[in-house]
Amino acid sequence: MAISSMTGFARASGASGGFTWQWEVKSINGKALDMRFRLPPGFEALELPARTAAAARLKRGNLQISLTVGGVARAERVSVNEEVLEQLLSAGETLRNRIGGEPLRADFLLSIRGVVDVVPEEENEEEVAGRNREVLRSFGEALDQLIASREAEGARLSGLVTAQVTRIAELAEAARASKARAPEAIKARLAEQVARLMEAGSGFDPQRLHQEAVLAATRADIQEEIDRLSSHVEAARALMASGEAVGRKFDFLAQEFNREANTLCSKAMDGGMTAIGLDLKTVIDQMREQVQNLE
């Protein structure tokens, strides 16, 4: 199974028994799988099987699904509403007996709304079932096209995300190799800071200053952040290689990446490490934008 995007579009059409139809399916990002159907009158029964078919093949995304139907006109027949006609005849006779007048004429009765309607001939159940099978088969074709469209976009996103993960790994290694992390460099910076404090006044306790210097050196250590970044890189590569619907997991992992980058920036003690941290945050933000599109 390939990595898929949640963005895609598909169209499929067909014809049967004098009908023509066309499905359109649009898919955009969504936290879950949400489907909205627009079906013409007489085709409402197709929603449940179409919804079931889509849910079996898709995990996430907001889907707009529409069906349009056209074709030759169905045979029609004249239908007389006997109940309304009888009521009119009875009322007419009652009035004629009371006040006189001519009997109600047929042309007058036929002109009254509701007495006569022209209605389409009803389809038999076998015809309806056969037509619905063909329409649903076309919906399956639309799903095939939609999945192919989402996979093509997923392949493009996969390339971008893979490159961004590689860049994060390079920056993590740059932080690991930074000369600013060398014990001698940390010692020199702390010694300089302590010297400035000692020059500012004579009321400092040397023992307390030594303890504070040790704590500062401990807080400045970014080894754990670098190790976690490397671990997250391996997890990201495993997700991309899995071929599963990884969007949710990758979104959470991107948050973990961002947390380590923020901590690294807060601990940075020189301009070079700060630059690495800012580059990390930029790449991670770009990666999160792409990950939002993954299924």
pLDDT tens digit string along 137-158? Answer: 999 999 999 999 999 999 999 9
How far is the CA of 30 from the CAs of 7, 27, 68, 247, 279, in angstroms?
A: 10, 9, 25, 10, 29
Cβ distance 275 to 236 under 8 Å? Answer: no
Q: What is the pLDDT of residue 115?
A: 74
* Averaged pLDDT, 1-12: 90
Same domain flag for 193 and 218? yes
Is 234 a residue whose pLDDT tops 60?
yes
Q: Are residues 171 and 244 in the same domain?
A: yes
Q: What is the CATH number of the domain that holds 50?
A: 3.30.230
Read off the pLDDT band of 201 (50, 70, 90).
low
Q: Are 254 and 287 in contact (CB under 8 A)?
A: yes
Are residues 189 and 234 located together in one domain of the fold?
A: yes
Residue 175: inside a domain, yes or no?
yes
- Residues 283, 178 within the same domain: yes
**Contact call for residues 192 and 185 (beta carbons, < 8 A):** no
Domain assignment present for residue 1? The answer is: no
Assess whether 276 and 162 both reside in one domain. yes
Structural domain contains residue 31: yes
Query: Whole domain around residue 115: which residue ranges?
Result: 76-120
Structure token pair of residue 175? 């932080």
The CA distance from 224 to 24, in Å, is 51
Q: Are residues 225 and 211 in the same domain?
A: yes
CA dihedral 159, 162, 163, 166 (to 10 degrees): -160
Check residue 294 and report its DSSP letter.
Answer: B
> Is residue 3 assigned to a domain?
no
pLDDT of 229: 94
Give the chain's domain count: 3
pLDDT at residue 35 tops 80: yes
Q: Is residue 222 domain-shared with residue 235, that is, in the same domain?
A: yes
Phi, psi of 26 (to 5 degrees): -115, 135
Q: Which token pair is 146?
A: 């939609």
Measure the CA–CA gap between 279 and 283, rounded to whole angstroms: 6
User: Quick one: pLDDT at residue 271?
Assistant: 81
Q: Give the whole-angstrom CA distance, residue 245 versus residue 155.
A: 13
Say yes or no: 66 and 84 in one domain: no
Determine the pLDDT at residue 250: 92
Which pLDDT score, from 0 to 100, does residue 117 have? 77
Phi and psi at 18, nearest 5°, equal 85, 0
Say what the pTM is.
0.69
Shared domain for 53 and 134, answered yes or no, is yes
- In terms of Cα–Cα distance, which of 39, 45, 293, 35 is closest to 143? 35
Pick the more confident residue, 185 or 158: 158
- Pair 158, 287 in one domain: yes
On whether residue 204 sits in a domain, the answer given is yes
Question: Are 62 and 90 within one domain?
Answer: no
State the CATH number of the domain containing residue 157. Answer: 1.20.140
